[in-house]
Amino acid sequence: MSSRAEVLAASAAESWAAEWARLTAFAYRNLIMARRNVFFVFELTFWPGVAMLSHGLLTRFLDLTPEMTAFILVGTVALSAVQVCQLDVAYAVGRGVIVWALMAVIGGRAFGFDFLGPGPVRVALFLLGCFLTALVIGLLVCALVLLFGTRAETSAWAAVNFFVMLGGIYYPISVLPGWVQAISAAIPLTYFLDGIRAGYGFPSQFAYPFATGFALSLLYAILAHWALAAAVTRSRRTGLLLKLSE
Per-residue pLDDT of the chain (246 residues; tens, 9 = 90+): 555 555 445 555 556 666 566 656 655 665 665 566 656 666 677 888 888 999 999 999 999 888 898 899 999 988 888 877 766 655 566 777 888 888 888 888 888 888 888 889 999 999 999 888 888 888 888 888 788 877 776 766 676 778 788 889 898 998 889 899 999 999 999 999 999 999 998 998 898 999 999 999 999 999 988 988 888 888 877 776 666 555
Residues 6+ apart with CB under 8 A from 37: none
CA distance 69 to 59: 6
Quick check: pTM over 0.75? yes
What does each C-alpha distance from 111 to 26, 68, 80 come to in angstroms? 38, 12, 18
DSSP state of 169: S
Q: What is the pLDDT of residue 34?
A: 58
52 vs 44: CA distance, rounded Å:
13
> Rounded CA gap, 53 and 174, in Å?
27
Q: Strand, coil or helix: what is 200?
A: coil
Structural Rg of the chain based on CA atoms: 20
Report the candidate in 77, 82, 78 with the shortest Cα–Cα distance to residue 52. Answer: 77
pLDDT of residue 8: 47
What is the rounded CA–CA span in Å between residue 25 and residue 16? Answer: 14
C-alpha distances out from residue 164 to 34, 185, 231, Å:
27, 12, 24
CB 127 within 8 A of CB 78: no
